[in-house]
Structures are given as structure tokens and as C-alpha cells.
């Protein structure tokens, strides 16, 4: 029986650091409010030469090096993103060209902040039917282009960055199980408009521009409940307990969400990886960036049971268990 396992990780963050003190000059807010309500202290903002696909490609090159693979050996490039620099071609096609993955097919996937988890799950299904495949799964965002910098409710939260991993087959370790969910009825609690339609019959006059719009308090409540439910269900299905988990890497949105999640799951803080303080919410990129940092810091060792969970616009959410 072949399992899909992660043979290499990489990440890339833009150079520019935006601090809470700088945000105080831009909107009516304070370092104290942002830190106490979100835990976020800094976030990264893209500049020249740091388009979404360029961050993604740099993260991909590091993941390839870590896995000991050449780009030409890849069969698939899959990018989870909601902030591509173009609608067509996909970000994945730009990455494929940028890194020289000439033998890979390439496409984007949008499941908002859950995109990377959805992508890993899809990679696992490909490996199950074609174990020889070598797959690059990336979560990459430049949300700074999609934030209304005059809206203090949202502009303090988001940041840019990319994380990547190589997925290959193994008979010993890898993805054990995952559970993915969506509820489109709740779309208007967290969304981003597309640019205006060029078809006058389809033009929606109520749309307010392609910014992230959010009912923060509602998202907060759903996020905690949904991630708790996804994790509990998955552990139960696998006859595992939260104590069996060596490291939980959740989507990084807000330390208060993570605090409530830890409390409800009954998991110790030492077993939860948190870096939202440095990068803010990087949507689909948050889990792969955190996964890469956890590897760099030696927080995951071969054989460890790792738990991932996410929540985002759609709503979409899910969890995944894997043996490292």
C-alpha cells in the first residue's frame, strides 16, 4: 500500500516587514489593540520581483533541493491561491515555467485558507493511483494586493508569502487520513469580490471592489468550532487520541482562535506550532510556511504524528493526519 509523504519543504517570504507601529500611521489602530486581539506583530508585504508566482517559485526551489529532486522530475505543479497576479494563465503555469518543470502539468486550486490542505489531499489521491508521480504542492499568496488599506478591520490581519512541499510515495510513512468540508451558504461572512464584469448584464452594482470583506466575529466563532470538529472526527475515525499527536500545525489566523482551539482539543501549547505573530494571516500559504519552519527548527522528526487543520472563506475547512 503506497502512502503519499512529504519529502521536502521550502518557503519564501517577501523582504519588506510591516509593523503594527507603521499601521498606526495608516489607520486608526494601535499596536496594543492588534497584539492583544490577534497576536500579530509584523507581516510581510511584497514588492518588485515578488509577485505571487515568484514567491511560489522560490519556495518550490527550496522544497526541490530538500527532496533532492530536479524540477524536470516533477509530474504536477499544484498551487493553492486566492491571489494570483493574473486570472489566466494560472499561477501554477507561471511557476512551472519559472522553475523549469517542463514535464509537469499545472493548475491552481482555490479553497481560500484551506487551499493547501485541499491540495495535499488531492496530491494524495494522485499518488494512490499513480505512485510514481512526483508532485509539487504550493500555498502562495500576495494578499497585500487584495486588502483595503483604509479598512482597519482587515488590513492589520493579512500578509504575503509562499510555502511549498514535494509529495512522493512511500510504503512506510505519509498521509494517514484527511477530512475536508465546505459550506457555501456562509460565503458572505468572508469574501473577496472579483473585478467588475465587462458584461453589463452581469454587472453587480452592489459590489465594492476586489477587497477582502469579513465579519470577523462570526468568522472567529465558526473557525474554532469547525476546526475542533474536523480534528475530533478525524482522530475518532483513526482510533487516535489528541495525546498521540506530536505536533499540530493549524492555519495561522489569530492567536486567540488558536488558544480557544487548543483549550477545546485539550492539547498542550508546546505541541502547537505558531508563527502568526511574524507573518499575520497568509491564507493558503500559512500551513506550508509553518510546516517548513517547523522542519527547520527540528520540531518534526521522522515517525512523528503531525496534525494539520485549517479554516477559511467559502467556508472551507478540514484536517489531516500524517506520519512524518
Binding residues for ligand UT7 (CB under 6 A): 29, 33-34, 37-38, 113, 152-153, 156, 190, 214, 216-217, 219-220, 223, 253-254, 257, 281, 311-312
Q: Which one is catalytic: 91, 113, 165, 309?
A: 113
| 73/151 with CB nearer ligand UT7 | 151
Cβ atoms of 14 and 50 within 8 Å: the answer is yes
Phi, psi of 287 (to 5 degrees): -70, -50
The closest residue (CB) to ligand UT7 is 216
Of residues 155, 281, 295, 309, which has the active-site annotation?
281
Distance CA 234, CA 318 (A): 9
Of 198 and 217, CB closest to ligand UT7: 217
Residue with cell 488558536: 258
Shortest distance, CB of residue 312 to ligand UT7, whole angstroms?
Answer: 5
Helix, coil or strand: residue 59: helix
Residue 148 appears among annotated catalytic residues: no
| Cβ 272 to ligand UT7 shortest distance, Å | 16
Residue 118 vs 311, nearer CB to ligand UT7: 311
Residue 95 sits at φ, ψ, to 5 deg, of: -65, -45
Q: How far apart are CA 139 and CA 81, in angstroms?
A: 6
Of 29 and 41, nearer to ligand UT7 (C-beta) is 29
Other C-beta atoms lying within 10 Å of the C-beta of residue 125: 11
Cβ atoms of 141 and 285 within 8 Å: the answer is: yes
* Residue 93 bears catalytic tag: no
**Shortest distance, position 212 Cβ to ligand UT7, whole Å:** 8
Indicate the residue among 245 and 276 with the shorter CB distance to ligand UT7: 276
Nearest approach, Cβ of 86 to ligand UT7 (angstroms)?
23
Output 8 or 318, the one with its CB closest to ligand UT7.
318
Task: Name the minimum Å distance from CB 271 to ligand UT7.
Answer: 21
- 119 Cβ partners below 8 Å, 6+ apart? 78, 79, 80, 109, 111, 137, 138, 139
Rounded to whole angstroms, the Cα distance separating 213 from 317 reads 18
Residue 317 CA: distances (Å) to CA of 110, 115, 116, 225, 228: 12, 9, 11, 10, 10
Closest CA to 212 of 155, 263, 161, 262: 155
Query: Considering the complex, what minimum distance in angstroms separates the CB of residue 151 from ligand UT7?
Result: 9
Nearer to ligand UT7, 253 or 265 (CB): 253
CB of 24 to ligand UT7, least distance (A): 9
91 catalytic? Reply is no
CB atoms within 10 A of CB 270: 8
Alpha-carbon distance values, 300 to 115, 272, 294, 297, 324 (Å): 22, 11, 6, 8, 7
The active-site residue out of 91, 251, 254, 295 is: 251
User: Strands (DSSP E) along the chain, which ranges?
Assistant: 3-12, 16-19, 42-45, 76-80, 105-109, 135-142, 160-170, 174-182, 190-192, 212-214, 247-250, 305-312, 316-323
- Residues with active-site annotation: 113, 251, 281
Amino acid at each position: 500500500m503506497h502512502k503519499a509523504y512529504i519529502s521536502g519543504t521550502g518557503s519564501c517570504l517577501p523582504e519588506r516587514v510591516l509593523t503594527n507601529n507603521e499601521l498606526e500611521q495608516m489607520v486608526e489602530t494601535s499596536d496594543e489593540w492588534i497584539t492583544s486581539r490577534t497576536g500579530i506583530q509584523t507581516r510581510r508585504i511584497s514588492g518588485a520581483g515578488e509577485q505571487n508566482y515568484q514567491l511560489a517559485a522560490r519556495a518550490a526551489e527550496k522544497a526541490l533541493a530538500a527532496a533532492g529532486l530536479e524540477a524536470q522530475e516533477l509530474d504536477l505543479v499544484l498551487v493553492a491561491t486566492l491571489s494570483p497576479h493574473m486570472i489566466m494563465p494560472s499561477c501554477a503555469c507561471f511557476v512551472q515555467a519559472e522553475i523549469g518543470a517542463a514535464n509537469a502539468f499545472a493548475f491552481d486550486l482555490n479553497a481560500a485558507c484551506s487551499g493547501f490542505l485541499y491540495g495535499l489531499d488531492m496530491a494524495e489521491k494522485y499518488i494512490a493511483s499513480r505512485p510514481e508521480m512526483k508532485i509539487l504542492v504550493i500555498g502562495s499568496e500576495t494578499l497585500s494586493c487584495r486588502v483595503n488599506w483604509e479598512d482597519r478591520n482587515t488590513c492589520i490581519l493579512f500578509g504575503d508569502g509562499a510555502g511549498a512541499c514535494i509529495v512522493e510515495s512511500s510504503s512506510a510513512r505519509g498521509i494517514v487520513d484527511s477530512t475536508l468540508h465546505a459550506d457555501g451558504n456562509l460565503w458572505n461572512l468572508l469574501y473577496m469580490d472579483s473585478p467588475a464584469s465587462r458584461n453589463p448584464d452581469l454587472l453587480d452594482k452592489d459590489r465594492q471592489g476586489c477587497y477582502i470583506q469579513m465579519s470577523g466575529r462570526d468568522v472567529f466563532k465558526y473557525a474554532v468550532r469547525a476546526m475542533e470538529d474536523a480534528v475530533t472526527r478525524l482522530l475518532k475515525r483513526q482510533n487516535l487520541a489528541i495525546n498521540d499527536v506530536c505536533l499540530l500545525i493549524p492555519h495561522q489566523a489569530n492567536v486567540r482562535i488558536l488558544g480557544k482551539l487548543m483549550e477545546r482539543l485539550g492539547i498542550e501549547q508546546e505541541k502547537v506550532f505558531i508563527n502568526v505573530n511574524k507573518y499575520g494571516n497568509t491564507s493558503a500559504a500559512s500551513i506550508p510556511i509553518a510546516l517548513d519552519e517547523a522542519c527547520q527548527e527540528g520540531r518534526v522528526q521522522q515517525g512523528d504524528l503531525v496534525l494539520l487543520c485549517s479554516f477559511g472563506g467559502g467556508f472551507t475547512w478540514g484536517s489531516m493526519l500524517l506520519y512524518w
